[in-house]
Amino acid sequence: MAISTGNRGVVYTGPGKVEVHSIAFPELSLGKRQCQHGVILKVLTTNICGSDQHMVRGRTTAPSGLVLGHEITGEIIECGRDVEFLKVGDIVSVPFNIACGRCRNCKEGRTGICLNVNPARPGAAYGYVDMGGWVGGQAEYVMVPYADFNLLKFPDSDQARDKIRDLTLLSDIFPTGFHGCVTAGVGPGSTVYIAGAGPVGLAAAVSAQLLGAACVIVGDMIPERLAQAKSFGCETIDLRQDAELPALLEQILGVPEVDAAVDCVGFEAHCHGSCHHEEKPAAVLNSMMDITRAGGQIGIPGLYVTEDPGAVDEASKQGSLSMRFGLGWAKSHSFHTGQCPVMKYHRQLMQAILFEKVQIAKAVNVQVISLDEAPKGYADFDGGAAKKFVIDPHAEFAA
């Protein structure tokens, strides 16, 4: 296979700004670190994520010039000499977590907090602030390290291309939504509340259905996103209403509580009701404790950060939030936070897609766009579009 030497990528250039720039063609290295265990991918699809949006809004310490993108599906065009079980031409899903496969946490299946791939802290990801300096994949080509361990090879390349709109979601949001539900204890017959109807929230809602939930309720403040949740059988709550959340749940369930709750909003949360324009970082966390039954579990796949330059108060700028933790303690709640360990789930979810047990692309309303349309995709997503924007860098999958 001929290997290109040109490359373009989506680059963060300052708060509110992303641009498509020429960037270096990837090599099997990161600085002085050799990555002969890695591969170079021709990127087939790469998705815009709400986590990217936090950086683009200027709500993190991301530096200008960062190449964005951690949701990647691609075709291998070059293998390092230490890659044994993959070959040129394979189509693969890339977990957004970068994991070495060798450290204690990786061996325990906790690949979201690998100890060897980020000198600053446990855990790494492509194209993300403080996550190890790995170049992002919203580009034409990208390097992926520890390929044998990390990559999920699709069993049939033609089938993978046919189902790419669904399979592209295995790199992050489908496993992340599923993880949120699993850690919230969702199972057959559960009643579930999902906070947030963005792509992760919608993926969590589908996951709750896949896990056998009896009733899935999604709360948000954007009518178009609530309509999207309703389109595949969810109950919905418009959080701009002044009524208290337990009372709104009681109208649906007959009781003011749920078995399981999943926070798919994170640190840019807003107040409910008439003050919904006001940011209140712990609003969702506190409401989750209010509406989850005693002994219930709360999954928190929504992102919370250690530094937020744009926060509403000094404490929140350091990730210190005003939680009513005593209520959670009194109700014996379990809380589960952190990055989803994608590899724990992606093969099973791939099977659910390939055997047509789930229509995840339809649920999150995938829209395929070109690389040059990425800046507009970011702007539309920031405006609350009820869509999951999937970038097609080589114009292979446009509708």
Would you say 245 and 272 are in contact if contact means Cβ atoms under 8 Å apart? yes
Per-residue pLDDT tens listing for the chain (399 residues): 546 679 999 999 999 999 999 999 999 998 888 899 999 999 999 999 999 999 999 999 999 999 999 999 999 999 999 999 999 999 999 999 999 999 999 999 999 999 999 999 999 999 999 999 999 999 999 999 999 999 999 999 999 999 999 999 999 999 999 999 999 999 999 999 999 999 999 999 999 999 999 999 999 999 999 999 999 999 999 999 989 999 999 999 999 999 999 999 998 888 887 777 788 889 999 999 999 999 999 999 999 988 888 888 898 888 899 999 999 999 999 999 999 999 999 999 999 999 999 999 999 999 999 999 999 999 999 999 999 999 999 999 975
Give the span between the Cα atoms of 17 and 58, in whole angstroms: 9
**pLDDT value for 160:** 98
**pLDDT value for 399:** 56
In the chain, domain spans: 8-172+342-392, 173-336
Q: Which of 40, 20, 21 is nearest to 30 (CA)?
A: 40
Give the span between the Cα atoms of 258 and 292, in whole angstroms: 5
Check: CATH 3.40.50.150 for 173-336? no
Would you say 11 and 138 are in contact if contact means Cβ atoms under 8 Å apart? no
**pLDDT value for 357:** 97
8 burial (CB, 10 Å; 0-12 / 13-18 / 19+) is: middle
Handedness of CA 310, 311, 314, 318 (dihedral sign): negative
* CA contacts within 13 A on the Cβ side of 43: 30
How distant, in Å, are the alpha carbons of 1, 124, 127 from that of 146? 22, 13, 17
Tokens of 86: 């993959």
Does 8-172+342-392 match 173-336 in CATH topology?
A: no
Tokens of 139: 């580009």
**pLDDT value for 3:** 61
Q: Which residue has the tokens 């007959």?
A: 254
Give 43's contacts (C-beta < 8 A, 6+ positions apart): 72, 73, 74, 137, 139, 140, 141, 142, 393, 394
Give the span between the Cα atoms of 278 and 314, in whole angstroms: 16
Class of domain 8-172+342-392: alpha beta
How distant, in Å, are the alpha carbons of 116, 261, 277, 288 from that of 185? 30, 9, 31, 14
Residue 206's CB is within 10 A of a number of other CB atoms, namely 27
One-letter amino acid of 370: S
Give the span between the Cα atoms of 232 and 177, in whole angstroms: 16
Would you say 244 and 262 are in contact if contact means Cβ atoms under 8 Å apart? no
- Its pTM stands at 0.96
Give the span between the Cα atoms of 237 and 227, in whole angstroms: 10
